[in-house]
Amino acid sequence: MDSNPEEVMGCFLGMAVGDAMGRAVKGLKPEAIRQIFGTIEDYKDVRNIIGKGTRNYRMQGLYGAPTQCALAVCDGILKNKKKFIEETANNFKNLSNGGPENYFGAFRSSESHLWKSVNLLDDRLLTEPTLLSSATGSFTSLSVPLALFYKNWSKTLASQCFQLAMVFSSHPLEIVGSVLNGFLVTRFLSIEGNALTQKRKEILQEAVEVCIQAEMEYQSSFKLFENEWVVKSKNAFSHTLQGLIVQIEKPEKEVLQWIVENANGYSNREIRYASQGCVLSLMLLALYWILNRESDFSLSSILRQGRETEKLGALVGAWTGALQGAQAIPENLKTGLVNGREISLRGDALFHRRMKKNAKVLVDMEMALTNKETEEGKRYLPKETRKVLKSINIDSWEDDEDIVPTKENRAQWRKFQKEKTKAKRDRRKNLPSDFF
């Protein structure tokens, strides 16, 4: 079945909607979400929990880094299909310039994996792999606009998802996860939503084959980064999806435990929750949810898992939108989405494969939104809380969450700048000339 504009629009809009819904509760534990917000059927206002449950202000209804990364790819491929990787890299670099304090340029994310990967783009051949080896699921959304641009799965699309992911992470889980997400978007575009349950094992088997091909490509291309855990992860996605075929009909509690145990077999850091920042567990959680999904566009049950809700929301929002179309997204979520017009405009542009002339310039648009969030945050952050928040990571469920250091923390700031300079100096000498 051919995709239609409603499904393509639904996927891109659904990604932003899920991202924005999840961003409000990002970092919170399930019990905290339940106590503070109850159910999550709309965009939550975080003003009353700043300093209590969340570290910083987040504008109600505004999406974060997953959608911003997808926008960078979207505008890149619409500008120049043949050189979309170069255009995408330029978009990332432009988005990282300037910006208010505590932000990485216009990006509304503090994850070190993001700013480190972007810093490594300068003066580098984009056909070479990055030195950064992360598997946090930070870059799986890159493949969404590629899938919507081509709409059908193909070797070309698989290769482009692979090559683009390689620019930002060299880890097999991140690369194969990005390829898998591209496939799933096209697969969900191709079927009627009400036929999903009957076809779920068929979809999973197809996904296994896609991952096997991507893993084989990784093993034939990559000669570096051969540490124990990377080696273990080379076939992780195909093996894990084969396991999900067996697990798919089991009760949720059992499946979630299996996801955690499975992810721990491939991770060098302890995985305690399925919603933790590990691409393997996050994508399996999202996939299990979508294949046993609710009948309407309700993300409440997946977002109540807490922790990496921004990434989870973007994944399941995109997939649900692809299955059901934009018309299934509740009106309050459409109207409440900040910058929804531009998101919709780009969804339409991806379907028709050309950008409309009245679209806003990406960098200007995102910087304006980030600046607006910053200015609003200044009004809502209690004065007595400001000093405390500089030293205490209040909303993190992890003890060692990565954040962009502020200039007030001089030791961390100097360390950050030193690492940044060293990476720029060393990256090319650490890459072999005969890599490809």
**For 243-263, what is the mean pLDDT?**
96
Q: How far apart are the first and last CA of the chain?
A: 38
Distances (CA, A) of 237 to 180, 183, 205, 212, 303: 9, 13, 12, 8, 23
Paired residues of 104 in beta bridges = 107
Closest CA to 175 of 153, 160, 185: 160
Alpha-carbon distance 219 to 407, whole Å?
Answer: 41
Instruction: Find all residues with CB under 8 Å of 89, minimum gap 6, and list them.
Output: 76, 121, 126, 167
Residue type, 365: M
**CB contact at 8 A, 8 and 189:** yes
Render pLDDT for 324-379 as a digit per residue (tens, 0 to 9). 999 999 999 999 999 999 999 999 999 999 998 999 999 999 999 999 999 999 88
Residue 214 resides in a domain = yes
Residue 433 resides in a domain = no
- 171 pLDDT more than 60: yes
CATH of the domain at 20: 1.10.4080.10
Residue 434 resides in a domain = no
Residue 332 resides in a domain = yes
Report the pLDDT value the prediction gives residue 110, as an integer from 0 to 100.
74
**CB contact at 8 A, 257 and 250:** no
Render pLDDT for 64-78 as a digit per residue (tens, 0 to 9). 999 999 999 999 999
Q: By residue range, what is the domain housing residue 14? A: 5-426
Q: Cα 51 from chain centroid?
A: 26
Confidence category of residue 22, pLDDT binned at 50, 70, 90: very high
3-state secondary structure 225-292: CCCHHHHHHCCHHHHHHHHHHHHCCCCHHHHHHHHHHHHHCCCCCCCCCCCCCCHHHHHHHHHHHHHC
Between helix 196-221 and helix 279-291 the angle, nearest 10°, is: 160
Render pLDDT for 123-143 as a digit per residue (tens, 0 to 9). 778 988 888 888 999 999 999
Closest CA to 309 of 334, 273, 343, 336: 273
Report the pLDDT value the prediction gives residue 412, as an integer from 0 to 100.
59
Sign of CA dihedral 367, 368, 371, 376: negative
Report the pLDDT value the prediction gives residue 56, as an integer from 0 to 100.
85
Of residues 428 and 90, which shows the higher confidence score?
90
Distances (CA, A) of 310 to 20, 58, 80, 171: 7, 12, 29, 21
Q: Which two tokens stand for residue 415?
A: 């360390």
What one-character-per-residue DSSP string does 364-430 give? HHHHHHHHHHHHHHHHHS-HHHHHHHTT---S-SSTT---PPPTTSHHHHHHHHHHHHHHHHHTTTT
Residue 436 resides in a domain = no
Report the pLDDT value the prediction gives residue 61, as an integer from 0 to 100.
98
How high is the mean pLDDT of the chain? 87
Question: Which DSSP helix (H) or strand (E) runs through 87?
Answer: helix 84-95
**For 299-322, what is the mean pLDDT?**
96
Residue 196 resides in a domain = yes
Confidence category of residue 307, pLDDT binned at 50, 70, 90: very high
Residue 431 resides in a domain = no
Render pLDDT for 387-424 as a digit per residue (tens, 0 to 9). 433 432 334 444 334 445 554 555 555 565 566 555 44
Closest CA to 147 of 317, 329, 347: 347
Per DSSP, the three-state class of 54 is strand
Percent of the chain exceeding pLDDT 90 equals 70
Q: What angle is formed at CA 138 by the lines to CA 100 and CA 215, rounded to 5 degrees?
A: 155
- 291 pLDDT more than 80: yes
Percent of the chain exceeding pLDDT 70 equals 84
Question: The whole model's pTM is what?
Answer: 0.87
Render pLDDT for 59-110 as a digit per residue (tens, 0 to 9). 999 999 999 999 999 999 999 999 999 999 999 999 999 999 889 999 998 7
Residue 99 resides in a domain = yes
Paired residues of 236 in beta bridges = none
Number of H helices, E strands in the chain: 20, 0
Report the pLDDT value the prediction gives residue 416, as an integer from 0 to 100.
59
Residue type, 343: I
Report the pLDDT value the prediction gives residue 133, as an integer from 0 to 100.
87
Q: Count the neighbouring beta carbons within 10 Å of the beta carbon of residue 85.
A: 19
Report the pLDDT value the prediction gives residue 51, as an integer from 0 to 100.
77
Instruction: Look at the chain and report how many structural domains it folds into.
Output: 1
